[in-house]
Amino acid sequence: MSRGFQKRVESFVCEVCGAHVQGDGYTNHCPHCLWSKHVDVNPGDRAAQCHGLMEPIGVEVHKGRYVLIHRCTRCGIVRRNRTAPNDNFDLIVRLAERWAWEHAGRRHDESLP
């Protein structure tokens, strides 16, 4: 199993909001509702057996870019993924506000269970 990124151009229908999402090889989540699916162990490998839905639970800024934080609704694993230019920015802002409010005063390494 490769630990490196594996680019896969795959389009999909979002299982949460029903949007048709055109993949570009980097697409990890629905740009409309920001939900994802737990399909990878390492980016692009499609090796995860879980296949649970990944809820967007927060947003962080890393090196000047927004990063979505997803938690799998089935197994509980937490993953971080970069946002894309066509993502729902209003929803990103709402997630960032909620995340900041819920984690005020915590160090970065304390922010997730």
> Per residue in 40-51, pLDDT tens?
888 888 889 999
Residue 72 in any domain: the answer is yes
Residue 4 in any domain: the answer is no
Residue 2 in any domain: the answer is no
> Per residue in 2-22, pLDDT tens?
567 778 788 999 999 999 999
Tell me which residue range forms the domain holding 98: 12-104
* Helix (H) or strand (E) segment spanning residue 25: none
Enter the pTM of the model. Answer: 0.82
Residues 69 and 57 sit within 8 Å (Cβ to Cβ) = yes
Backbone angles phi, psi at 69, to 5 degrees: -115, 120
Q: Which residue has the higher pLDDT, 74 or 41?
A: 74
| pLDDT for position 45 | 84
Residue 40 in any domain: the answer is yes
Residue 75 in any domain: the answer is yes
Task: Quote the number of domains for the chain.
Answer: 1
Integer-rounded Cα radius of gyration of the chain:
14
For the beta carbon of residue 97, count every other beta carbon within 10 angstroms.
Answer: 12
Residue 92 in any domain: the answer is yes
Token digits of residue 69: 């934080």
